[in-house]
Amino acid sequence: MPPVSRFSTAERLRQRFRVEHGERLAVRAKTSGLVTEAQLDEAREASEADGRPLTAVLLDRGWLDATALARLEETEAREEFSRPSTTRPAVLPAEVEEAAANPDRNLDEFVLVAPLGRGGAGEVWKSWDRRLGRWVAVKISTASLESTSAQQRFEREAMATARLAHPNIVPIFQVGTAHGRSFLVMPHIDGQTLERASLPLRQALEVMHTVALAVEHAHQQGIVHRDLKPGNIMITPQAGGVFVLDFGLAYLREETSSRLTRPGEVVGTASYMAPEQARGDHTAPATAIDVYGLGATLYALVAGRAPFTGDSFAAVVARVMTADPEPPRRLRPDLDARVEAVVLKAMDKNPRHRYPSAAAFADDLRRVLDDRKVEARTAHVQRLHQWLRRHAPLWAAVAVICVALAVAGLARFGAGHERDAAVETLREMARLSLESALRLRRAGDTVGMRKVLPQLVAAYQRVEERGAASAEVDYLMGRMYRALLDEDKALAHQERALAKDATFASALYERSVLLSRRYGRDLNQTIADLQVERPKGSKPADAETAERARPALAQLRARIVEDWTRLTSLTPSPAQTYAARGILAFYRSRPKEARDLLAQAVAADPLMEEAWDALALAHSAARNNAEADLTYTRALALDRGYAPHLVGRCDIRRLRGRTAEAVADATAALVLDPASIGARLCRATIGINRSHDEIMSGADALQTLNTADQDFSEVLRRRETTEALYGRALVRRYRAIFLDRRGKDPLPDFAAAEADCTRAITLDARDPERWSARGRVRTRRALHDIQNDRDATADLDAAQADFDEALRLDPTRSSALMWTADVQTYRGLQALRQGQPSEPFFVAAEARYTRAERAGADAWLHLLRGTMLTWRGVATARAGGDPLAVWTAAEDDLERALKAFPRYHDSVVRRGILRLERARHLVRDRRAARIAHDLGVADLEHALAREPDHREARAALAIEGDPVLSH
């Protein structure tokens, strides 16, 4: 690109002015307390050494910020304007004398000498200030004071401009009224508007870069110009002399009590008007109007004419609303394609597809000036996107064809510039493919969405083989994989992108999202695992409990928090900023702040699926599952093909007890994404809970258990995780127990459950829950062996070792204490059946049950201890002692278990066996024995009525002699 063409000026005079001006501003900064004397002296030395302006040194060293400097410049300008000229001529200039003779040209102390132009609310005159003896610009309202709307617009300009302190926005120094009209006084700027200027390309880009930053400053102050055009931008012969004029149509965003424009009212200059302005539509972001105006002004500078023309105002407005501007390169073939891309992006018909801010527009212009790639799409891709939006059913096919063409093109490209062009083509095609895939998914067409990927992967591989894939290309590939729900590959691509550019905010954002989803899945599964054997009504497991049980969860959360914290120091989009801050607040246990920020994120970008997910999780964390359910439902209305929303709602509905709806969600998710691990885990977890309830109530749980086993097995086939292994182990232990209750062989399922637990421990030996799970399998198999007269010592020893390790990892684990008591109980039962001393084992078991109870063990303890005390009473009776006190304590425990689990008839069976034992012991007291016997038989018959195949109940009723042989 050719070097910038400078304005023709006296360089030495300009340099002298800058030095003197900088010195005055620096002294003013010191007297205002903004910098110290020492800092000022040091800055002067640096300025003399390298020739930089004094204010530039102060800015570079951080002693003065840009906002403070702008205020100092405004104050300096105001005082300079008010200071009488020391070179005031003794007589008026001839042109002033001539104008002064006309009474209509006198306005207070100002003489209106020559018209300079006409703005949206007034006319501007080159004027002479009689009092100060200098030239000024006076803008006079074209309406009388009785014209309310026009007068308000004129006052609006004064209000808007007066609150802006920026070196490229013309300030207002005085406001007054005379002869029934208002007027504004401004410095007279000796220059010309862009409407009359013909600038070289680079200079035009630099001017618009400066203008965009000035407009961004106005936006930051809540002011939108609404009439940006070449005629409202002035340049002067001084270097950097660029000024934004005429805030007559400015919109102050905080004003809500009254509007100067109503829905349907059109304001602005037709050729440079945004489509939503032309429609009188106030629903679009107000700042997007100025972004469009910047693009339209740049269009005129580079193409040589306005973007839209016509025979009348109405004809131009109609074209603005319905037609796309002619691409500037058709009018100027030598124009850089990047400049055209910037113009067309800024002028997109859809405000949400434009640059998100004037600053972003300026950033892309700076990339052009620095000869770097721009964020905007090239014109042909832009037109293709526009075509696709009009032909939605063909998205997938066109995307596949385009990417195929990119692959074919890449095969012909070599190194150097051609390779760079190929990579640029791939980048644009990746963007196109991603947008097409997302549109198809949101419409529910996941089959069409997946057709986009294969050719894109082939194109990426060709570029990667040449070592030319950029961080952005890897980011786009990763985002595509996340859209297609392949999060492992998505994460791998984002890691590659960050390896190439650690400050690439979009890739860092994506990685954080992916890790957050992994954390959420693992957390939910761990909580579900912990919750399965907790009785209803007990305190539910939560994130803190889960992280104690599985330290890897806490480590993953710390990594996510670190990523979110880094991201906030970069420059993500507003929606990403809200999402990042919201998710960070969520993981730092600030749920209200998280909900507020995430609500802003989805308001800023309703298609941000990760923000919807996090918002639902935040509601769930606040125990507001109904709102979480509704959040997922709203998200699904916007994105019908996003299976994770269905999975999330499945989990929420599972927790709410809406089991049938939860299963329906999981099944629908699997239709959209047959590989969905989350959907299978949700349905399998429902299967665990349902089978547990069926076993407790005496129903046939075999079909439920088999389905859950299949779901967990499919998950493990796709991805081996400790959560899925633990879940399948639990299903298989339940199935073994169910088969054992029905008198069938449980040993294969016990062996399979033990193998799953062992594998889970191999993958994560730091999780105490995995050790406890294997110990539970071994103790339950030991009981089966004891009941079938087989030695169970090896299993009991191994189970004790598992529980000891669980307690070493988590000494507060009350459940592990309870299961170690079970080990002692079964040792005592084995000794009892073998005719050996059993009392020491039962005493040890009771002591451990008591410790577990004090540590907060749940109501299962009462069933287990009641059963143990029943057997201990039998041992006491055999030894010739009185077992009644022990049995009374046993019955008390069993009664408490029945209150906790009214549907679980094993407590009824154990109480029936206890009562029959008491009847045999009270054989000499026939009346008491008969009552105990009848109550025991009633308990057992009641259980058999609900579960006719209950082996233990049938054996207790049928046995003659010592009932302990039935255990």
**Half-sphere CA count of 748, side-chain side, radius 13 A:** 3
Confidence of residue 415 (pLDDT cuts 50, 70, 90): very low
**Is 418's pLDDT higher than 70?**
no
**Is 753's pLDDT higher than 90?**
yes
Higher pLDDT, 728 or 431: 728
Q: What is the DSSP letter of 540?
A: P
Region of poorest pLDDT, from 75-84, 171-180, 544-553: 75-84
DSSP states of 734-778: HHHHHHHHTTS--HHHHHHHHHHHHHHHHH-TT-HHHHHHHHHHH
Confidence of residue 779 (pLDDT cuts 50, 70, 90): very high
174-178 and 181-187 beta bridge pairing:
antiparallel
The candidate with the shortest Cα–Cα distance to 529, out of 550, 499, 508, is: 550
At 522 the pLDDT is 80
**Is 896's pLDDT higher than 90?**
yes
Give mean pLDDT, residues 214-239.
84
Confidence of residue 162 (pLDDT cuts 50, 70, 90): low
Percent above pLDDT 90 for the chain: 33
pTM of structure: 0.52
**Is 293's pLDDT higher than 90?**
yes
pLDDT in tens, 842-856: 999 999 999 999 888
Confidence of residue 279 (pLDDT cuts 50, 70, 90): confident
C-alpha span between 886 and 842 (Å, rounded): 11
**Is 288's pLDDT higher than 80?**
yes
Confidence of residue 543 (pLDDT cuts 50, 70, 90): confident
Which residue reads 């062009």 in tokens?
Answer: 421
Region of poorest pLDDT, from 62-76, 255-269, 351-365, 469-483: 255-269
pLDDT in tens, 5-38: 333 333 443 454 456 667 777 777 777 778 888 8
**Is 417's pLDDT higher than 60?**
no
Return the active site residues.
Answer: 227
CB neighbours (10 Å) of residue 595?
22
391 and 445 in contact (C-beta within 8 Å)?
no
pLDDT in tens, 584-605: 777 667 888 999 999 998 888 8
Mean pLDDT is highest, among 738-742, 825-829, 960-964, for: 825-829
Give mean pLDDT, residues 343-371.
92
At 900 the pLDDT is 87
The candidate with the shortest Cα–Cα distance to 485, out of 727, 718, 721, 661, is: 718
Confidence of residue 227 (pLDDT cuts 50, 70, 90): confident
**Is 133's pLDDT higher than 80?**
yes
pLDDT in tens, 700-709: 999 999 999 9
At 355 the pLDDT is 93
Give mean pLDDT, residues 202-226.
89
Higher pLDDT, 961 or 113: 113
Sheet of strand 192-193, all strands in order from the earlier edge strand to the far edge = 192-193, 233-235, 242-244
Give mean pLDDT, residues 533-538.
48
Give mean pLDDT, residues 171-192.
78
- As separate numbers, helices (DSSP H) first and strands (DSSP E) second, the chain gives 42, 11
Give mean pLDDT, residues 917-931.
88
Confidence of residue 791 (pLDDT cuts 50, 70, 90): very high
pLDDT, averaged across the chain: 80
779 and 795 in contact (C-beta within 8 Å)?
yes
766 and 806 in contact (C-beta within 8 Å)?
no
In the structure encoding, which two tokens stand for residue 681, read together?
């885990």
C-alpha span between 617 and 557 (Å, rounded): 15
At 292 the pLDDT is 95
At 959 the pLDDT is 59
